Structure 1
């Protein structure tokens, strides 16, 4: 799927994608490929925003904005479902708000940007670990892990209240982090995970802790 390749930056090359769209246009016609062309154009426009945004941050002395890249898509061209609502932590909200302000000043007044967080990702760097680690995670995983900068232990219920992530999705995220051994839960023996273990086996009153080697985590980019 073109959208997945473009968002995940999995394309072999821009030339390959353009060639594929041109061939499809010859066979299937303009109507069939019009959305594909707009998707590809959105990627090009997004790349052109990178340097101006960095200059904007420098001019406005936004030194605390982390390394942050954005793809801006037209909602009627991409096959993405509307994102569910949840609370962005300040580490993520600050760069998003900064880019939104920049974008609206670039002759885009009136347009609304919505963070499609289910297709977003980032890196976290651990502090005070030997060695230090870079964790490549989804936005949801990042939101959960960043909670441990506030407290070393959370019940699942408190996590839900703090993040407003939907129950099923939160349990899915926790299950993945438990299997990766980034977090721990006294009621669950990760080494005994088997095919019968279900995400719903994680109860709302369970206590979740950051793994001993990951005492503090910060957002890197």
Structure 2
């Protein structure tokens, strides 16, 4: 089956009909490719087991936890265990932004995202296209970050595998990405570099 493609244009948002197509596809467990400020991500509904299984096929460690994609500090506090005030301030400065953070999960967190050690990798991209897509989806998402920012690569690789592809003309900057472990004090960069202010 050929993927349904939606185009996001910076400054214009999503057309109403496109906005209304996203929520049903995500809630039905469809496989989606969506944009962030770092790269494209393949993912879907974090609480749909069928979707989770499909997303795992694109992960290096097929049995490992998947990353959680959300869009607000309110959601973050729902899925992430409290941390000391100093680390909380640093976390909330990182998010939204081009970072993934490793933190302790709460019982409310999607099980597919929680490691055997009880940690979870959370992303809250700041890009306009991601925020619009997430608002339309209305669901917490699991995702696997792809090593591409090119729409042509996404269409070639996922045109027959994904159910929905959301493309954007918004610039992506993979060089700004860092994965930061906040279960350690001080926090440690597992990928990329720590922000200078951290």
| Greater relative contact order (CA < 8 Å, ≥ 6 in sequence) | 2
Q: TM-score, normalised by structure 2?
A: 0.27
TM-score (norm 1): 0.25
Structure having the larger proportion of residues in strand = 2
**Larger helix proportion, structure 1 or 2?**
1
Query: If you compute each CA radius of gyration, which structure gives the higher value, 1 or 2?
Result: 1
